[in-house]
Amino acid sequence: MAEIIDGKKISQQIKDELKDKVEALKANGKTGALAVIQVGEDPASSVYVRNKKNACAYIGIESLAYELPEETSEEALLKLIGELNEKEQVKGILVQLPLPNHICEDKIIQAISLKKDVDGFHPQSVGAMTIGEPGFLSCTPAGVIQLLKRSNVEISGKHCVVIGRSNIVGKPMALLMLRENATVTVTHSRTQNLKEICRQADILIVAMGKPRFIGAEYVKEGAVVIDVGIHRDENNKLCGDVKYEEVQQVASAITPVPGGVGPMTIAMLMSNCVQSIEEE
Ligand code: GUN
């Protein structure tokens, strides 16, 4: 039976460390706010945005909520970002994705000042991460690294297989594991022999976006399995990309859904916000 990697507990530890840091920064006159922008009313996005605001309140930083109607124009959103870029108190700007189809996400991401890009999605933030320069790391992959490190999983020299190549998770995940000296294989929807490749992984990171797809036959005995997926099944129950019940029989450690990677994304966002306040 696998050890459960408890993302809820680890994210709580991180938020408590950040809370102390924020208090110390305040004593030195350093404060700041996170601006959270949501366009439209996608219910999943609303939950994420609410959780982000609650996390800010918990660690003691201000959050400014901008809830804009679905029909908001790209120009109006760009104008708001321009204003927030100039506001001294605002140390982080987060635009919740996905955006409505009439708004170009790339254009919006690139409009955010590098110094306030706490999501780490700006091409220059991604470039800095790629070459190991300082900058904001994208939150979900950074959260996975923290989960592994704080669970004492050795990364260096291990074979890590990442399933998925999205800009938000798969690609930065592979780069961060490489930075930690793993040997990394990136797989995706066109990969042939996916099962055979996954069975070679010491650490299998699943971010494919297919509910309960990865069964025990994809997992080497004793591997560590990280499930980045989050879905609602036919009974409205949350599940990941991994068949948890059967994979936990062969893995040595596994993240549950919910309570695995999800809470870590928000903890790392808070970490980026605190870093931004520190660096002012
Ligand atoms: N949508 C899904 N995940 C994320 C995230 O980490 N940041 C933002 N801004 N939008 C998202």
Which member of 6, 21, 91, 119 is catalytic? 119
Contact of 67 with 38, CB cutoff 8 Å? yes
Dmax (CA) for the chain in angstroms is: 56
Structural tokens at position 122:
């700006």
How far is residue 94 CA from its own chain's centroid?
A: 13
Q: DSSP labels for 76-107? A: HHHHHHHHHHH-TTEEEEEEPSSPPTTS-HHH
Cα(250) to ligand 1 centroid in Å equals 31
Task: Calculate ∠ Cα 77-134-48, nearest 5°.
Answer: 40
Closest C-alpha among 165, 161, 158, 180 to residue 226: 161
Cα(32) to ligand 1 centroid in Å equals 21
Reported residue count of the chain is 280
Which member of 96, 146, 248, 275 is catalytic? 96
**Residues within 6 Å of ligand 1 by CB:** 94-97, 119, 139-140, 168, 265
Structural tokens at position 30:
């350093």
Which residue puts its alpha carbon closest to atom 4 of ligand 1?
A: 97
Closest C-alpha among 169, 145, 141 to residue 155: 145
End-to-end CA distance of the chain: 47
Contact of 272 with 279, CB cutoff 8 Å? no
Cα(91) to ligand 1 centroid in Å equals 18
Closest C-alpha among 218, 250, 213, 245 to residue 228: 213
Give the tens place of pLDDT for each residue, 123-152.
999 999 999 999 999 999 999 999 999 999
Residue of 119, 122, 264 to mutate, ligand 1, most atoms within 8 A of C-beta: 119
Q: What is the pLDDT along the chain (280 residues), one digit of tens a residue?
A: 999 999 999 999 999 999 999 999 999 999 999 999 999 999 999 999 999 999 999 999 999 999 999 999 999 999 999 999 999 999 999 999 999 999 999 999 999 999 999 999 999 999 999 999 999 999 999 999 999 999 999 999 999 999 999 999 999 999 999 999 999 999 999 999 999 999 999 999 999 999 999 999 999 999 999 999 999 999 999 999 999 999 999 999 999 999 999 999 999 999 999 999 999 7
Residue of 105, 168, 171 to mutate, ligand 1, most atoms within 8 A of C-beta: 168
Phi and psi at residue 159, to the nearest 5°: -90, 115
